[in-house]
Structure 1
Amino acid sequence: MTVAAPGPVFSLRDIPFSHRGSWFGLSPVIAERTYAQDVHLVSHQSGMHPILRLAPDAGCVVTATPGQLTWSGDDGHIALAYERADTVRVRGRGLGLRLTAADPVLTSFSGPYLYRDPADGSYVLTVYQTGRRYRITVLDGAAVPLGVQALGAAERGLALTGDWEIALEEYETARAPYPGTEPFEQVAKAARAEFDAFAAAVAPWRGDATPAADLAAYVLWSAVVRPAGFVTRPAVLMSKHWMDKVWSWDHCFTAIALAGGLPELAWDQFRLPFDHQDAAGALPDSVTHSEILYNFVKPPIHGWALGRLPGGDPEETYRLLERWTTFWLTARRAPGRELPHYHHGNDSGWDNATTFDRGRVVETADLAAFLVLQLRELARRAPDADAAARWSGAAGRMREAMLRELWTGDRFVARCALSGETWSSSSLLDLMPIVLGDDLPEPVHTALAARIAEHLTPFGLATEHPSSEHYEDDGYWRGPIWAPSTVLIEDGLRRAGHTALADEISARFRRLCERSGFAENFDARTGEGLRDRAYTWTAAAYLILAAAHGR
């Protein structure tokens, strides 16, 4: 095994500096596609909230690695490292720092308030937006309070000059005085060792042939948060930028990426949305610290995912998957219809795909294919022969209905669940039934493979055919390359025997990540990373495909 080189070094504009378990990170990204001049401490409790601005006294170069964040100037430097998930140590040598509230406005009911704690002499900033406190304990040097604490707009914070060191903690109401005694170098070394152990577990195969593996592992590791609020177990947020939720299909990809080396954490990812399964059996659209949304669902890829997750509690997993599948078979089938329907493009995960241009309440072949896989998984996990036969029969009937009612001889169509009208589109979504692999008739999967190849640009699979009049370079699901569609299609093609095309799709996506990072999606014509640049299902997809390629 080749040992990965030190690093990786990354840009804070793309990936926040954080630590496994932490609810905050350090980044200049303070809102959706909004970049500040200085690095901010940004918390994700109760939403995404910039809390503190960290402004050095002089111009600096900022360098981020998994263990340490560094500001380097002509006359000195500042270094920051996580001591624990809720605590960072910050040390300055010859370079001062102004540590001020990101929001300058204080009212009687909101805003930041800075006070000195008489118990230990620390400085505490209370912040309405997160409902948390931020304690600054001076370990070396001296701090000068800035501004006033009167109502209104004012600078509130501390100035640190010369040689100094502080501990900065996020907590709830009270805690014992800061106890740390470890030297800064040891804190930074321990933080890096934690990441190295994580990377070694999830990507033991990494080396020169997988140059983005360490950074992909860091994106996952740094996006993990400890249980809090509605997040009932350790969870990989989709990002510690503005996409700071867990959506109910994204989690399947992070679970698969973690499963080989960290099975317990992987099962936490898979189980999290099921902790909030409603009375009808539906999973929420998304879960985050202070919000659960049920207005949409996400596609039932969970049977497909379970086939790639070793271990787990068979009885409990069967029960949860049964309830989720029954939701689609009861709440999402029109009377007398075999095929289920989406209520909106958002239910499919492909929010604005052109498949939904002529209707929102739609029966689609991708949904049927996912449920066929899920029904077959239930049959494999069934507690008795009668249940297994029942699920196998349901899978067969849905497969046959999909082929009979939606296959035209050369393509799948969508059908309005209300009127029965059918149509086709230029969306890659129409080709997603390839996930059934060799469970499709040979002429069907061969025709799908040929159409999939037409979506392949030099960088990967465009979600809208590049020649379509509806194609948009930054059109979300109307053109850009996405990780989940890539992984699902690559897997289906491979199981259908189209290995050369599967190999090419995998290689192009891996090269894309090595070139452009782990963006939410990518411009299919240029390969440029779009929108959130630290998306964990993209990093997970890279690790999944790289590991499979190595095997």
Structure 2
Amino acid sequence: MTVAASGPVFSLREIPFSHRGSWFGFSPVVAEKTYAEDVHLVSHQTGMHPILRLTPTAETAITATPHQLTWAGEDGRIDLAYENPDTVRVRGNGLGLRLLAADPVLTPFSGPYFYQDPADGSYVFTVYQTGRRYRITPLTGRAEPHGAQALGVAERGLVLSGAWEIAIEEYETARAPYTGTDTFEQVVKAARADFDAFTEAVAPWRGDRTPAAELAAYVLWSAIVRPAGFVTRPAVLMSKHWMDKVWSWDHCFNALALAEGLPGLALDQFRLPFDHQDAAGALPDSVTHSEVLHNFVKPPIHGWALSRLPPAPDAYPLLERWTTFWLDARRAPGRELPHYQHGNDSGWDNATTFDPERVVETADLAAFLVLQMRQLARLAPEARWNERADRMRDALLAELWDGERFVARGVHSGRTWSSSSLLDLMPIVLGEELPHPVRAALAAGIERHLTAFGLATEPPDSPHYADDGYWRGPIWAPSTVLIEDGLRRAGYPDLADEISSRFRALCEKSGFAENFDARTGEGLRDRAYTWTASAYLILAAAHERRTATGAVIGPRAATSG
């Protein structure tokens, strides 16, 4: 990533080109870890679906900025920009473009059907995968239809040549003919203004010390979709690559990054999973355009998050039902501590904590619920919530603290064990609620996970460590933010500073990947993950505030206290 006068320049292989509110983007990434030779229009309605293939007629170099995508060759160039969330304008001068269906197979029940609309002369793809239409309206220049409509395998689309311009729209059944009147330059200017306003709202503090702030803002801005399907509010997807969902803890970090500058959008992020809260009070595992999954849940960090968000008048009953779910449905008879039914419920799917058994009482879960009940007590002062929080905290210390570390306990077997997972150290989120010896032990354990790039979820010297092992080694944004915050409240600001500094430097080096190799800092899995961008913005904003108030004076060495 580089930063030019026109904004950050990024690779389409890492971050798709899209626009706030749009359900589609442009990228060569057409499936998980699958890269095409050409840029594709990829829609995220009903899933991730490559729709159109954009192939220049000569060799080009591609440049992507937040407001414009450009193919440049020796004989000319092609530019693309969003006019609005469901319409893009594309123009070429001296360079032609083959605009073809991404899927060449046409059957009676699948594949893209291509035809010319007799009403206005536009060309339309009807695509089974998304259930949407994609209309190409020639504005200037020459557009020649290409390919056959017979069932089977054939290229279908348009070939554009000379000096030309088109509009591409994604819509449902029918709409009036395209009548855009703005020039291409005006379209680009408006897109840039929209992004610049968003960036100014979420990162007004950005500067030379925060070189990745604008790109982080773009990752968030470009991943926003308008309400559609099961997505009931303007939503920040986790990515406009294949992780195109809202999971019921990821959304909290995006809400926190937006909270100061865009409080309404932040609260929309927080509330969205609660729109699908079930009769038992549980949140879904994930929400996307065409599905809501309830097979797992996610950890109850929502009280922790809500305490850092703008006031939300309707939050109490939502949070109460979510908390009651854990107390009523996820505690074995006679037990004070709740349990996960699988590692996926914790958000740490394959962490080594869950190797011995799957149905497990863990220290992180109890700690999150203590914080959540404290927040309920603040929202509607009732002695019962603080009393319940006290009981759970005391049970956590009495039953899962062995004098040196927190252990996990199998609900069925009753046996306990310790692991080398960073998850076992997550109770540091309780901060000042923990006794001093417990805080010190957790801080020392956390420091042992600290690599040159940040907090490894499994120490590199562990026999279970894997460079690309998901929660068995890589560095993740949510664990970093939660632990950094807990350390500050526990009285370990120096260690928190070091964790923040290393993670911010990691993002500036390797972008905003889903997670990172703890030994090399390489970005892993989905490379345009919004909770990572949000974590950078959260940590950078806090660091800039501390610097401005004189609370930070130069770099500090890590210390356990």
TM-score, reference length from structure 2: 0.96
Q: Which residue of 1 aligns with 2:541?
A: 547
1:363 corresponds in structure 2 to 361
Match of 2:417 in 1: 423
Q: How does 1:31-70 map to 2 (within 5 A)?
A: 31-70=31-70
- Deviation, 1:5, is 4.7
Tell me how far apart the structure 2 counterparts of residues 441 and 310 of structure 1 sit (CA, whole Å). 30
Instruction: Name the CA distance, whole Å, in 1 between partners of 2:484 and 2:254.
Output: 17
Tell me which residue corresponds to 1:456. Answer: 450
Alignment partner of 2:485: what SS?
A: helix
Amino acid at match of 2:332: A
Aligned-pair RMSD on alpha carbons? 0.8
Amino acid at match of 2:34: T
The percent identity for this pair of structures is 81
Asked if the contact 2:267–2:310 (Cα under 8 Å) also holds between the matched residues in 1, the reply is no
Q: 1:363 Cα deviation (Å)?
A: 0.0
* Structure 2, unaligned runs of 5 or more: 546-561
Distance in 2 of aligned mates of 1:205 and 1:81: 28
The aligned counterpart of 2:142 is 142
CA distances 1:243-265 after superposition (whole Å, capped 9, x unpaired): 00000000000000000000000
**Residue 396 of structure 1 aligns to which amino acid in structure 2?**
D
Cα offset for 1:311?
Answer: 2.2
Q: Which runs of 4+ in 1 moved over 6 A?
A: none
Aligned residues: 543
What does residue 558 of structure 2 align with?
Answer: none
Residues 142, 164 of structure 1: 8 Å contact kept: yes
- Offset, 1:93: 0.4
Q: Look up the match of 1:275.
A: 275
Q: Distance in 2 between matches of 1:305 and 1:242?
A: 26
| 8 Å Cα contact 1:267/1:312 also seen in 2 | yes
Does the 8 Å contact 1:484/1:537 carry over to 2?
Answer: yes
What's the secondary structure of 2:8's corresponding residue?
coil
Which residue identity is paired with 2:10? Answer: F
Select between 5-14 and 532-541 the one with higher mean Cα deviation: 5-14
Distance, in Å, in 2 between the alignment partners of 1:277 and 1:381 is: 20
Further displaced range: 139-148 or 3-12: 3-12
| Aligned residue in 2 for 1:495 | 489
Structure 1 residue 181: Cα displacement? 1.1
**Structure 1 Cα separation of the partners of residues 189 and 103 of structure 2:** 33
Q: Secondary structure of 1:113's partner?
A: strand
Residue segments in structure 1 that go unaligned for 5+ positions in a row: none
Q: Give a deviation string over 1:303-327, Cα, whole Å, max 9, x none.
A: 00001101221xx200000000000
- Tell me, yes or no, if structure 1 residue 529 matches structure 2 residue 527: no
Q: How does 1:286-325 map to 2 (within 5 A)?
A: 286-313=286-313, 316-325=314-323
Match of 1:170, SS state, is strand
- Write the deviation string for residues 250-281 of structure 1: whole angstroms up to 9, x where unpaired: 00000000000000000000000000000000
Deviation at 1:548, TM superposition (A): 0.3
Letter in 1 for 2:423: L
Q: Is the 8 Å Cα contact of residues 4 and 208 (structure 1) preserved in structure 2?
A: no
- The corresponding residue for 2:109 is 109
1:332 counterpart letter in structure 2:
R
Aligned to 2:342: 344
Counterparts of 2:29 and 2:64, CA distance in 1: 15
Aligned counterparts of 2:437 and 2:465: Cα–Cα separation in 1: 28
Cα displacement (A) at 1:392: 0.5
- 1:278-303: CA deviation from partner (whole Å, max 9, x where unpaired): 00000000000001100000000000
- Alignment of 1:151 onto 2:151: yes
Q: Is the 8 A contact 1:93 1:162 kept in 2?
A: yes
* 1:406 alignment partner AA: L
Query: Deviations along 1:112-166, whole A, 9 cap, x unmatched?
Result: 0110001100000000000000000000012111111111110000000111000
Query: Amino acid of the residue matched to residue 419 of structure 2?
Result: S
How far is the alpha carbon of 1:467 from its aligned partner?
1.0
Name 2:162's counterpart in structure 1.
Answer: 162
What's the TM-score, normalizing by structure 1? 0.98
CA contact (8 A) 1:4 1:214 kept: no
CA distance in 2, matches of 1:182, 1:138: 15
C-alpha separation between the residues in 2 aligned to 1:10 and 1:133?
A: 29
Amino acid aligned to 1:141: G
Deviation at 1:4, TM superposition (A): 9.3
Deviation of the 1:340 alpha carbon: 0.1
State the match for 1:20 in structure 2.
20
Report the alpha carbon displacement of residue 6 of structure 1 after superposing the two structures with TM: 3.2
1:380-399 counterparts in 2 under 5 A? 380-382=378-380, 385=381, 388-399=382-393
